């Protein structure tokens, strides 16, 4: 079933998020619906392009033209008038909006696909859990469960729970507003009664100063009774107002406690989980960007509730100042309440100043990069009425730590061009944000390196700063948001192996289309941890940063990460479909390959990643000599990306006629024939060149076309373990080993920082 078909089965709330994501990126949902299969067929291309790399713009432009042609083709067959009109508008929109910047279309579609996929996976995970009665949901081979706060299968329950919390707070706020109005009315009634009582006292004083007469005496007695009743009424009203004030203050205090709890959940759990998922997306994990819109709704409701409660506290203070009625021994709680709720408002505003679109984890000087900063409560509190200005600077790790301690110093460790921008409010989306499209790191001040320190050991962060005017200038808050960009900002000394395994699996799956199996994970653990033999449980072991990407592997000149990165790269670029099909065993050592093949039928082979050649893939096979006393195993010299650029792996395997069975028991042609390059024989053209081809040939085997012509094996490759055996059997496509790779900004050494940065 296609992704779009699965998306249409989502519950209403999740489906609205999908539609909102496409609307946010101005990609018509009608195009997604009509071209669902074509878009998903091209999904791999959307995800493989680097939207920050201008060299990919031409390829993106080609995809844009294909998309517009598909829309035109659909218009010829579509009969629905409204749908035709919408598709025509979409075609014109794509031409005007993306023709000059086709990578923007790639970015938009990638974001929409990620949101759609994330919501579908969440829903299907929840439904699978329900089907097994709440038990564990099985994980597919090579897959790992990912549970994020509010982002897993229980996301809808979390949403409903938070909405209930906010609804209860809104109801309490409305109740306390009514209580405050009643208290104000009661206080006004008290002032009227007090005025009447004062007037009665004045009249009584005037009468008692007159000569006493029987008639006057009666008037005095009547006035004294009236005075006594008035004073009693005032006493009752004072007592009632004191009790109601205490009750109101208590209610405001309880509401504030609930606000703090709700704000903790929204900011410290849900928003923090979103930021974590955003970090993980840098390593290929699906990321639901639309979740931020839902968090914004919660933050906006919190802002309204906090502002109203703060207004009630201040109004209560004003009423109390007009009529001070402090009970004996009582403590005025209102000033403390005002401070606490203002602090909550400050925390809400500054914490919702977030980086919506992250800059790259690795940056070059004099290279353009982008970032988007957003204030989630920008549509509330009149913040957008005075558009805030945001500045970007780069700081070192030490400077960032001092900022976390609120040390008021201006820090800067480099120069960034185009580093200021004004936030803009978009009414249709209710978003206040600024998009930095042309940031550029001009220079960076690095500390002097010590000993064996490399450039990766010094880390920097981009710091986004702004000042917000809240409530029409009544309050002002300064907000900072920093995110690692130049290098990984926090790299732990060591990490539990299960966390490393999960990250490697995520990254490999994102790059190649299929994740790692438990056996793959165990193989990688033994290699990374430098253990001589594989064990079944590495869960309690830790991998150090040095083991990961600084210390070379045993008897090698490269690190574990360099080896893994090159394996991932060659698989992504040349072997993706073979890996997805399961035709490449890949992560298996030489000794294990020998054990597997020596017990297999003759001419059985497997594909494994070379231990000695970066990005190398070797073919291991068992001898096809049925008369041999023992099954011999051979390893072909590894092929690399350079070789696959000349002739694909499937064609090379086809060339090797003696290899008949892919381990354990799949006929070779059944596994690889669909990837063979079709051979077209054209009649010779007089005077034209005669085309030639490249064929893989194992030295020591008969020439192609002569294989099988002899029943003996005089040229069988020398078996492994013989005194004269080479480390691997050379092929006719022999090539010199690549020289040791030097770190560059495109090398795996830098990407390693991105992997372990997110633990």
* CATH node for 352-445+454-488: 2.60.40.630
- 513/607 Cα distance (integer angstroms): 18
Contact 691, 679 (CB under 8 A): no
Equal fold, 352-445+454-488 vs 491-759: no
Domain range 192-349, CATH architecture: Up-down Bundle (1.20)
**CB-CB contact of 629 with 649 (8 Å):** no
pLDDT value at residue 131: 44
Report the alpha-carbon distance of residue 431 to residue 215 in Å, rounded: 78
Low-confidence ranges of the chain (pLDDT < 70): 1, 44-48, 50-53, 125-156, 326-331, 400-413, 446-458, 471-492, 533-536, 624-630, 701-759
Q: 301-345: per-residue pLDDT in tens? A: 999 999 999 989 888 888 777 777 766 555 577 888 888 888 888
Quick one: CATH architecture of 491-759?
A: Orthogonal Bundle (1.10)
Quote the pLDDT of residue 535: 66
Model confidence over 252-304: pLDDT tens digits? 999 999 999 999 989 988 898 888 888 877 777 777 777 888 899 999 999 99
Max intra-chain CA distance, the chain: 153
Where are the domains positioned within the chain?
A: 3-131, 192-349, 352-445+454-488, 491-759
Cβ 468 vs Cβ 476: under 8 Å = yes
For residue 47, give the H/E element and its range: helix 43-48
pTM metric for this prediction: 0.63
CATH topology of domain 3-131: Transcription Factor, Stat-4 (1.10.532)
List, in sequence order, every beta strand (DSSP E) within 533-588. Answer: 542-544
Question: Can you give the pLDDT at residue 140?
Answer: 35
- 195 vs 499: CA distance, rounded Å: 75
**Displacement of CA 387 from its chain's centroid (Å):** 28
Torsion angle in degrees (nearest 10) through CA of 574, 578, 579, 583: -140
Cβ atoms of 379 and 425 within 8 Å: the answer is yes
Rg (CA), the chain: 37
């Amino acid at each position: 079933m296609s992704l779009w078909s699965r998306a249409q089965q989502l519950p209403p709330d999740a489906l609205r998020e999908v539609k909102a994501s496409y609307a946010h990126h101005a990609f018509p949902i009608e195009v997604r619906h009509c071209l669902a299969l074509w878009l998903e067929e091209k999904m791999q291309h959307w995800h493989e392009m680097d939207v920050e790399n201008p060299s990919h713009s031409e390829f993106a432009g080609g995809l844009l033209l294909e998309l517009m042609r598909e829309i035109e083709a659909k218009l010829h067959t579509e009969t629905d008038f409204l749908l035709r009109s919408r598709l025509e508008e979409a075609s014109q929109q794509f031409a005007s909006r993306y023709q000059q910047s086709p990578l923007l279309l790639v970015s938009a579609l990638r974001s929409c696909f990620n949101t759609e996929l994330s919501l579908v996976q969440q829903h299907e995970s929840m439904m699978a859990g329900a089907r097994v009665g709440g038990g564990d949901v099985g994980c597919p081979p090579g897959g790992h469960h990912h549970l994020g706060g509010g982002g897993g299968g229980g996301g809808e329950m979390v949403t409903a729970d938070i909405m209930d919390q906010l609804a209860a707070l809104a109801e309490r706020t409305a109740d306390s507003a009514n209580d405050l109005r009643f208290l104000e009315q009661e206080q006004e009634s008290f002032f009227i009664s007090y005025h009447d009582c004062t007037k009665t006292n004045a009249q009584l004083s005037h009468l008692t100063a007159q000569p006493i007469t029987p008639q006057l005496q009666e008037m005095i007695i009547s006035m004294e009774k009236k005075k006594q009743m008035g004073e009693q009424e005032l006493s009752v009203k004072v007592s009632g107002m004191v009790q109601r004030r205490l009750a109101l203050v208590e209610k405001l205090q309880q509401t504030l406690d609930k606000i703090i709890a709700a704000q903790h959940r929204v900011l410290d759990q849900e928003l923090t989980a979103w930021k974590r998922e955003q970090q993980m997306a840098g390593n290929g994990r699906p990321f639901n960007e639309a979740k931020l819109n839902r968090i914004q709704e919660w933050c906006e409701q919190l802002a309204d509730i906090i502002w109203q409660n703060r207004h009630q506290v201040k109004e209560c203070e004003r009423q109390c100042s007009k009529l001070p009625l402090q009970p004996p021994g009582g403590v005025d709680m209102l000033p403390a309440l005002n401070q606490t709720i203002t602090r909550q408002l400050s925390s809400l505003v500054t914490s919702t100043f977030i980086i919506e679109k992250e800059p790259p984890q690795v940056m070059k000087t004099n290279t353009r990069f982008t970032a988007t900063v957003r204030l989630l409560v920008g549509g509330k509190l009149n913040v957008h009425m005075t558009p805030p200005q945001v500045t970007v600077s780069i700081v070192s790790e030490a400077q960032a730590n001092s900022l976390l301690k609120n040390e008021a110093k201006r820090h800067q460790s480099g120069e960034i061009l185009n580093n200021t921008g004004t936030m803009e409010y978009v009414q249709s989306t209710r978003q206040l944000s600024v998009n930095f499209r042309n940031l550029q790191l001009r220079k960076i001040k690095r500390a002097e390196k010590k000993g064996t320190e490399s450039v990766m050991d010094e880390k920097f962060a981009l710091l986004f700063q702004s000042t917000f005017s809240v409530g029409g200038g009544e309050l002002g808050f300064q907000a900072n948001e920093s995110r690692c960009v130049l290098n990984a900002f926090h790299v732990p000394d060591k990490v539990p192996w299960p966390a490393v395994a999960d990250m490697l699996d995520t990254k490999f799956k994102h790059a190649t289309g299929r994740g790692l199996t438990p056996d793959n994970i165990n193989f990688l653990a033994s290699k990374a941890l430098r253990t001589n033999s594989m064990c079944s449980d590495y869960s309690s072991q830790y991998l150090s940063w040095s083991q990961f990407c600084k210390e070379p592997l045993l008897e090698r000149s490269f690190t574990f990460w360099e080896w893994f990165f090159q394996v991932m790269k060659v698989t992504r670029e040349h072997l993706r479909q073979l890996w997805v099909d399961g035709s490449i065993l890949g992560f298996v050592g030489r000794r294990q390959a020998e054990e597997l093949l020596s017990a297999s039928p003759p001419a059985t082979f497997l594909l494994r990643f070379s231990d000695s050649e970066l990005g190398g893939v070797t073919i291991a096979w068992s001898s096809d000599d049925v008369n041999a006393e023992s099954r011999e195993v051979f390893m072909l010299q590894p092929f690399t990306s350079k070789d696959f650029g000349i002739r694909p792996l499937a064609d090379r395997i086809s060339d090797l006629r003696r290899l008949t069975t892919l381990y354990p028991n799949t006929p070779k042609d059944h596994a690889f024939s669909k990837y063979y390059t079709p051979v077209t024989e054209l009649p010779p053209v007089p005077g034209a060149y005669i085309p030639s081809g490249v064929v893989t040939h194992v030295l020591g085997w008969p020439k192609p076309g002569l294989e099988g012509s002899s029943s003996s094996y005089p040229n069988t490759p020398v078996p492994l373990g013989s005194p004269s055996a080479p480390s691997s059997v050379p092929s006719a496509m022999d090539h010199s080993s690549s020289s040791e790779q030097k770190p560059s900004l495109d090398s795996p050494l830098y990407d390693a920082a991105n992997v372990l940065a997110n633990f």
